[in-house]
Amino acid sequence: MNDQDEDQTDNQPNSDETEFSRQVGAKETRKLKQQRKAVQNIWFGFSMFGLIGWSVTIPTLLGILLGLWLDNNYPGTQAWTLNLMIVGLILGCLNAWHWVSKEDKAIHQDSEQKNE
């Protein structure tokens, strides 16, 4: 009977140790993943600055170019350059807003999945 009691007491610490080592391993894995993600998030932020900048700049420049072409080929009382520059700027801002909201949703979905 004493042999059985000793076996049971020996098994209990081992199961606790394995559970503990699993918890430590899981925490270490999460920590390493977050450290890698922090570096990725920095570069992702810089790339988003570029994406947003170009998504506003390109439609604005295209509007200016089209406006200049229209002003030179079809002169009239209205300034096509200014009007199409404003239209391009508005379209670029809407495009940038779309990208930012899309990325914001993706970030919130990732954080919700981690919390579950």
The angle formed by the CA atoms of residues 32, 38 and 43, to the nearest 5 degrees, is 135
- Tell me if 63 sits within 8 A of 89, measured CB to CB: yes
What is the per-residue pLDDT across 49-104, written as a single tens digit (0 to 9) for each? 787 888 899 999 999 999 999 999 988 888 899 999 999 999 999 999 998 888 78
Chain-centroid distance of CA 105 in Å reads 9
CA distance 5 to 107: 53
What is the per-residue pLDDT across 6-43, written as a single tens digit (0 to 9) for each? 444 444 445 556 887 787 788 778 777 766 665 566 66
Q: What is the pTM of this model?
A: 0.56
- Tell me if 57 sits within 8 A of 92, measured CB to CB: yes
